[in-house]
Amino acid sequence: MKKSIKRTTAALIAGAVFGSLLYAGPAAANPSDGSATVGAAAANPSDGGEAVGAAVAAKSVRKVDRMTDWASNYRYMDFDGMAQRLDDLLFAFAANPEYVPVDQTESYMPIGYWDDTNRNGYGRMFGFPSYIGHVNGSGEGTMTPGGQEAISTLAPLLSGMLAGIDKTDQYGYNLAEMANGFHNTANGENMVLNRTNTSTGQSFWYELYPQLLYIQIYETAKRQYGQDIPSMRNIIVQGAEKWLDALPNFKNSSGKLSFDFTSYNMKTGEPVRNGRWTEPPGGALAYIFY
């Protein structure tokens, strides 16, 4: 069984890598250095290999030649500065240690808010609304503590970290570690999911994407800011092991390995099809296992 799981994991990773190669296409050779034409990587004659094709001189394309080097309507976008200003706007709430409700009538400010419900036992966390002014179908607003989604809360957290803002120490808080609040322990799932109180068996998108964001937050804190957060590392390993244990159950009606499902229910140990669409999780699982 272990050998089968290892082979399957290796196949997932290989598939993800091969897929990226297909997307990127073969390396284009540079005519200026005497190598082969675009579309195939030329062998290096100096090492005994054969050139893929004859050297081709760069061609002049009249329409391209008439293009200016600097378009008149070009405007430089300072994306780094934009990211910094966006972070200032989103995380302004954290400067105040007290919980301030979001104004849901006119300004919808502050955008973010503290969440002290402590649903999963990790203490204070925070949240952002899915949309400004959005209230989901159940009537529980995502602008109130406990109603936030991981995909709209963890994404700006990671964005700020990638923009050079140390979220392990911002306004005196380790905001990165607060992502632990999405680790669903209270209901026994013990998985990082899209809500603080939800379960698997509904959609791979909402069950895997939050884990990918969570892993990236941990890795960025460790590599970019030198902060190895043990609690996050343990949660990541636990999640990977649970998915690895589930892998042998990913079978179609013929008993063969398949990822053509909508979700997977960790409690029943069975893949789920909703009868309307499928969300193959191969690439996400490969990343989690890696």
- pLDDT, tens digit (0-9, with 9 covering 90-100), for 246-285: 999 999 989 999 999 999 999 999 999 999 999 999 999 9
Lowest mean pLDDT among 6-20, 83-97, 173-187, 262-276: 6-20
Antiparallel, parallel or unpaired: β 191-192 and 263-265 = unpaired
For residue 271, report the phi and psi dihedrals to the nearest 5 degrees. Answer: -70, 155
pLDDT of 55 reads 65
- End-to-end, the C-alpha distance of the chain in Å comes to 19
User: pLDDT grade, residue 131 (50/70/90)?
Assistant: confident
pLDDT of 75 reads 80
Gap between the Cα atoms of 167 and 14, Å rounded: 33
* Structure confidence by residue, pLDDT tens digits, 191-242: 999 999 999 999 999 999 999 999 999 999 999 999 999 999 999 999 999 9
Contact 133, 108 (CB under 8 A): yes
| Residue ranges covered by each domain of the chain | 11-19+79-289
pLDDT of 70 reads 74
Higher pLDDT, 109 or 68: 109
User: pLDDT grade, residue 117 (50/70/90)?
Assistant: very high
Gap between the Cα atoms of 114 and 263, Å rounded: 31
Answer whether the bond into residue 45 is a cis peptide, omega within 30°: no
pLDDT greater than 90 at residue 133:
no
Non-local (6+) Cβ contacts of 210 within 8 A are 150, 151, 154, 182, 192, 193, 194
* Whole-model pTM over 0.95: no
For the chain, give the mean pLDDT: 83
Gap between the Cα atoms of 126 and 179, Å rounded: 8
- Percentage of residues in the chain having pLDDT higher than 70: 78
Non-local (6+) Cβ contacts of 165 within 8 A are 84, 87
Burial degree of 40 (CB within 10 A; 0-12, 13-18, 19+): middle
pLDDT of 171 reads 97
